[in-house]
Amino acid sequence: MERSGLSELIPTQMKAVVVTDYGGLEKLEERKVHVPLPNENEVLVKIYACAVNNSDILMREGRYGTDANTGEKAGWKREPISFPRIPGTDVAGEIVAVGANIDPSCLGEKVVLFPFISSGPDGLEHMAEDITLMSSECDGGYAEYIAWPKELCRPIPLSSYVESSSFIVSCFTAWHMIEKSKVVPGEKLLISGATGGVGSYAIQIASKVFGANVIALARDLSFKEKMIELGASEVLSYKSKTLPDDVLMAAGSEIDVVLDVVGDPLFSTCLNVLRNGGRLAISGAVGGAVTQLDIRTIYLKHLSILGCTLGTRKEFDKMLAAIREGKIQPLIDKTFPLEKAREAQEYFKNSGKFGKVILQNENSTHL
């Protein structure tokens, strides 16, 4: 693409933080790399904010495993990563250049980016075999610029780049879990990992958008009041030695739907507290990816287990509409400048945080 399509002077190189190989924080390096040129159906977005996600860290550590070997190092698609790779899936920024087929009237638009590309049809795009996830199969948002398909750019939902970047994968995943579980008003939901990104947004979405009665599970109760403010009716510690009984007592009956991101440590509890015909939606395994399962529990209780990753463009748009309407509030714990990506990932993994950790380019918080 010729540089005449630019709305501002774009440098040929940019600052980026790249993952150089599987491993620890030392595998994150700040580098100067080429600014990508948008293809004919793409735009160039100047990145102002990008949230840190657990998937960024799991990709760097190679902890997804492969289909053949759960211990083998691989990326999100359970395939080898092509290094170096720029991580980051949650991008908010401004369109500053366009490809040959894109109307230049979009220059200057403030946008968030739908985080993956696929050839799947509407409603099934997240299940396509050729899915390309930003940060894993292609470069992501720990940089100053990114080229991305124009059709996957959406108007920024709030008047802050930082706040708008906080929703993209965590909130999107939570929305997909709830919609795929077919939650209806009045149902009783149990949400594990409730202080994390997915869990904390799930509390808001389930209670304030879908009208469910939410019980939140957390490692400790230091954020109990905050979770109740978000919409939880009760908050329990999953360290309790009587957790199944605690859940049933808090709910007053068995649970209709469990949303789980923890995995092994809570798996049996999740199954045991569900009513006959209940649904278990799983989108993570931060506490352990391998568990034991008594299959009889599944068929004797007529349970449905739903695997949930990302979601559809329609769900993404509905989520953004709910954010604009004020039904879902941004949850920000801490921001770091881009060059402090190592510190940001270390803080993300080790702190008792509540809300999202954001990497910020320049000092542009608001539009």
d(CA 37, CA 341): 24
Q: Is the peptide bond before 84 cis (omega within 30 degrees of 0)?
A: yes
The mean pLDDT of 18-22, rounded to a whole number, is 96
In this structure, what is the dihedral angle of CA atoms 222, 53, 164, 357, given to the nearest 10 degrees? 50
Supply angle C-alpha 281, 288, 331, rounded to 5: 60
Work out the percent of the chain whose per-residue pLDDT is above 90: 83
Bridge partners (DSSP) listed for residue 257: 189, 279
Supply angle C-alpha 158, 162, 163, rounded to 5: 45
pLDDT: is 90 or 349 the higher one?
Answer: 90
pLDDT digits (tens, 9 = 90+) for 22-78: 999 999 999 999 999 999 999 999 999 999 999 999 899 988 877 777 778 877 788
pLDDT digits (tens, 9 = 90+) for 100-131: 999 999 999 999 999 999 999 999 999 999 99
pLDDT at position 4 is 42
d(CA 255, CA 264): 19
Sheet containing 188-191: give its strands across. Answer: 232-237, 213-218, 188-191, 255-260, 274-282, 304-307
Closest CA to 321 of 313, 310, 333, 311: 313
CB 342 within 8 A of CB 52: no
In this structure, what is the dihedral angle of CA atoms 91, 94, 100, 101, given to the nearest 10 degrees? 80
Closest CA to 64 of 56, 55, 74: 74
> Going from the N-terminus, what domains does the chain have, and what CATH number goes with each?
3-167+330-360 (3.90.180.10), 171-307 (3.40.50.720)
pLDDT at position 64 is 84
In this structure, what is the dihedral angle of CA atoms 70, 73, 79, 80, given to the nearest 10 degrees? -160
pLDDT category at 358 given cuts 50, 70, 90 is very high
pLDDT at position 71 is 72
Q: At 118, is the secondary structure helix, strand, or coil? A: coil
pLDDT at position 79 is 84
